[in-house]
Amino acid sequence: MTIAELQLALPEIFVLTMACVILLADLFIAEERRGLTHTLAVGTLIFAAILTGRLMMEPGEVAHAFADTFVRDRFGDVLKVFSYIILAGVYVYAKHYLRMFSLFKGEFYTLTLFALIGVMVMISASSMLTLYLGLELLALSTYALIALNRDSLPGSEAAMKYFILGSLASGMLLYGMSLIFGATGSLQLGEISSALGAGVGDDMLLTFGLVFVVIGIAFKLGAVPFHMWVPDVYHGAPLAITLFIASVPKLAGLALAIRLLDNGLSGLHDDWQAMLVVLAALSLIIGNVAAIAQTNIKRMLAYSTIAHMGFMLLGILAGTPEGYAAAMFYAIVYAIMSAGAFAVIILLSNNGIEADQLDDFKGLARRNPWHAFLMMMILFSLAGIPVFAGFFAKWQVIAAALSAGFTALAVLAVITAVIGAFYYLRVVKLMYFDEPETPDRVPAPVDFRAVLTINGTAVLGLGIFSGGLISLCISAFV
């Protein structure tokens, strides 16, 4: 281990150090001064973004460290910066919720920072061992977060379900990795790719290993038929935790898929491409159709997530740099849109009751016109309506699928996108055309309203000026 290697991992070391500092400092911070913990956590993300930005790799530049188990490249740096930005927004939204529901504790910040470290390790993994360690750190932190409200029976039930199913999926992923290790004799993704290119390894062993690896990836993304945990976890977890789960970990899921399938298993491209076609098609159909029947908006957005992961898989299965860039653009845009949507649900929650029913949105345009307008833009973007970022994200992944020859799948994506627009527009109808159940305005702190405004207008700005972010994503795969 050298100074140069430690410098490559400086953002991870900084976040880990600050997570430990916040964990200890929170013991001595009085309840009425808990905002200091929040400030330290947000400050950690700001300085981590500065560190990553100053050391950002140039296009095509790659550096390895720690016996080739850690890789630093532009793909990883861009994803990390957006992870910091989105998590900072999550913190601002969550603070308002945690205070309303008497859950404003330091554990939320330390667990999310440890989860962030897991995300960062996954993003920069160049070994299956490192990838698995990052995945487990993220998963274990998330299990605890879901059960943060000990008095909530649905929260405890959701945490237990996620723990059991997540452990099963992790075991399958680990088993798949062990089979690939047995066939190629290496855990390093680069060496595995070289071995496959040279025709090393038993085909049957590699195929079985690949199947288990794809199952593990599909579960972590929430793709059909491994989606059963998503609606229950989104519904049962506290809104602040659902907000976190629906945003930052999606970037980690993208990194998991690209590191394993492209960096390590590119020699089995035809095999995993066929599997992803099935996963994408099922996710698009079941996610969008099931969302229509939901009256709980958390469950509706959960099924929406499943459908969006189907769209993201369109870019990955193309197996080209353009496809990966499109999937990366989609993951970033989706995380931003999802954070904004759950923030508005938090805004409407009050008096110890989550506003998780569709009827809670009735007449929002008359109570809070600006916030209703922001929610409308976010929903339009999620639906893929032109000029918003979601439209260009869908356009990119569908174009990638078409260029790879999957015309039928691209047509299916367009059809399901039209179906999906129905349940998003239903919420817009409730906000603008139904009478409110109460005429009172919805109060919110200044910082919450400011970040929500930035979040809502970002989906429009990233649509009109999408070229910059798309170019940034493309530069990650040059």
Give the integer Cα–Cα distance in Å for 424 and 22.
Answer: 39
Give the integer Cα–Cα distance in Å for 98 and 105.
Answer: 8
What are φ and ψ of residue 477, in 5° steps? -125, 15
Pairing of strands 62-65, 70-73: antiparallel
Give the integer Cα–Cα distance in Å for 475 and 314.
Answer: 20
Give the integer Cα–Cα distance in Å for 389 and 395.
Answer: 10
pLDDT(330) > 80: yes
Count helices and strands in the chain by DSSP H and E runs: 21, 2
Tokens of 144: 């605890």
How many CA atoms lie less than 13 Å away from 270 in the CB half-sphere? 1
CB-based burial, 29-45: b 16+ in 10 Å, e otherwise: eeeeebeebbebbbebb
Tens of pLDDT, residue by residue over 38-80, are 999 999 999 999 999 988 889 989 999 998 899 999 999 999 9
pLDDT of residue 203: 83
* 281 bridge partner residues: none
Give the integer Cα–Cα distance in Å for 345 and 340.
Answer: 9
Coil, helix or strand at residue 438: coil
8 CB burial (10 A radius; 0-12, 13-18, 19+):
buried
Give the integer Cα–Cα distance in Å for 16 and 422.
Answer: 43
* 125 bridge partner residues: 70
* 357 bridge partner residues: 296
pLDDT of residue 384: 93
Tokens of 347: 């805004």
Tokens of 378: 């976010």
| pLDDT band at 458; cut points 50, 70, 90 | very high
pLDDT of residue 200: 81
Tens of pLDDT, residue by residue over 106-120, are 899 999 999 999 999
pLDDT(159) > 90: yes
Taking residues 13-41, report their average pLDDT: 92
What is the percent of the chain with per-residue pLDDT over 90, rounded to a whole number? 82
pLDDT of residue 440: 78
| pLDDT band at 355; cut points 50, 70, 90 | confident
pLDDT of residue 157: 92
For residues 90 and 247, the answer to whether their CB atoms sit within 8 Å is yes
pLDDT of residue 438: 77
Give the integer Cα–Cα distance in Å for 344 and 342.
Answer: 5
For residues 165 and 142, the answer to whether their CB atoms sit within 8 Å is no
Give the integer Cα–Cα distance in Å for 77 and 118.
Answer: 15
pLDDT of residue 213: 95
Dihedral sign, Cα of residue 94, residue 97, residue 99, residue 103: negative
Give the integer Cα–Cα distance in Å for 439 and 42.
Answer: 35
* 73 bridge partner residues: 62
For residues 303 and 363, the answer to whether their CB atoms sit within 8 Å is no
pLDDT(352) > 80: no
What is the percent of the chain with per-residue pLDDT over 70, rounded to a whole number? 100
Please count the residues of the chain.
Answer: 478
pLDDT(478) > 90: no
Taking residues 393-419, report their average pLDDT: 95
* Average pLDDT score over the chain: 93
Helices of type H across 189-320: 189-197, 203-221, 229-236, 239-245, 248-257, 269-292, 297-318
For residues 48 and 120, the answer to whether their CB atoms sit within 8 Å is no
pLDDT of residue 201: 76
| pLDDT band at 442; cut points 50, 70, 90 | confident
Tens of pLDDT, residue by residue over 231-248, are 999 999 999 999 999 999
Give the integer Cα–Cα distance in Å for 445 and 353.
Answer: 18
| pLDDT band at 194; cut points 50, 70, 90 | very high
pLDDT(94) > 90: yes
What are φ and ψ of residue 103, in 5° steps? -120, 15
pLDDT(187) > 80: yes
pLDDT(343) > 90: yes
* Sequence-ordered list of residues with C-beta below 8 angstroms from that of 473, at least 6 positions apart, any chain: 78, 325, 326, 328, 329, 332
Residue 321 Ramachandran class (φ > 0 left, ψ -120 to 50 alpha, else beta): alpha
Tens of pLDDT, residue by residue over 276-328, are 999 999 999 999 999 999 999 999 999 999 999 999 999 999 989 999 999 99
